[in-house]
Amino acid sequence: MPSNALTQTAITATLNTLKSDTDAAVSVSSNDGVPVIDKWIKILQESRPATPVLDQLMQLRSLLQMPSPDPDQVKRLLKDLADNTTQIVQSSEGPWINELQQIALALQDFSDQL
């Protein structure tokens, strides 16, 4: 199970990245999100190794590392991540539920800007 500190760091980094990017022009070719994705991959590999979210994060990471990622694929993956995060929130309980809901909303908003 991942540590609470690692989870809190990933949540904070995700919200900061998504909020700052939604206020600025969106650049699909940016690698800014890769370190944040890496944190979530580590958390999910430790706690939920077989989840659609983990697979989607790995796909998104690969796309963002390409010189010219397909914006439609990135948008689709972000929407799917938002939907799956919302499903996790609805079927879970714990200290991070509110933050995960914020992440789901930020992912949706971010994908809408693409």
Checking if the pLDDT of 37 tops 90, the result is no
Residues 49-58, mean pLDDT to the nearest whole number: 83
pTM for the model: 0.76
Give me the domain span that covers residue 73.
Answer: 4-112
Specify which of 5-19, 32-46, 59-73, 92-106 reaches the highest per-range mean pLDDT.
Answer: 59-73
Checking if the pLDDT of 77 tops 80, the result is yes
Structure tokens at 80: 């799917």
Domain count, the chain: 1
Q: How far apart are CA 102 and CA 10, in angstroms?
A: 13
